[in-house]
Amino acid sequence: MELRTVLVALPALQKLATLDLSIKCLYWVRKLLSQIDGGPLKIFNEIKNELLEKYGQHIGDGKYNFEDNEKLKIYKEEYEKLLSTEIEREFCRPVITDSEFIRMSSNDMIALEPFITFNFTETEEEQT
């Protein structure tokens, strides 16, 4: 999976961790977030900061300015490569069932699909 996939899912995972879930489900969601925070996210932030320092000029409050368009172009290319980096790591996969009674957007659900197993029971009426 690409690093981009992790970054896209992160806000939805963080939102999920704030919901009233069963203790078991919440434990696994927090464990997944911990795996992401201590691994891919940490590495992403370190490399992103190195790229900003290399190609940009720090102007305060975490903001950077690029001296010329060439440096900005190189930074964007390197940043895109970083986002496209394949992650070879297994994450725990929390299971969310319909007994959790949670609400989320379709976008959040799509972002979470690589990380969460959604296990819902369908009645015959729902299947048609």
- Per the structure, the complete domain to which residue 28 belongs is given by 3-119
Report pLDDT for 4.
96
Mean pLDDT of the chain: 91
Residue 125 lies in a domain: no
24 Cβ contact partners less than 8 Å away, ≥ 6 residues apart = none
Residue 4 CB coordination number (10 Å): 15
Tokens 């297994």 correspond to 90
Residue 127 lies in a domain: no
Residue 128 lies in a domain: no
CA gyration radius for the chain?
Answer: 19
More confident residue, 94 or 122: 94
Residue 89 lies in a domain: yes
Evaluate if residue 41 carries a pLDDT over 80: yes
Q: In 1-128, which ranges are continuous DSSP H helix?
A: 3-17, 23-38, 40-55, 69-83, 106-112, 124-127
Report pLDDT for 103.
87
Lowest mean pLDDT among 46-55, 77-86, 114-123: 114-123
- Calculated CA dihedral for residues 17, 21, 25, 31, nearest 10 degrees: 20
What's the residue count for the chain? 128
pLDDT-above-70 percentage for the chain? 95
Residue 23 lies in a domain: yes
| 10-31 residue pLDDT tens | 999 999 999 999 999 999 999 9
4 Cβ contact partners less than 8 Å away, ≥ 6 residues apart = 83, 84
Angle between helices 3-17 and 23-38 (to 10 degrees): 140
Give the number of domains in the chain. 1
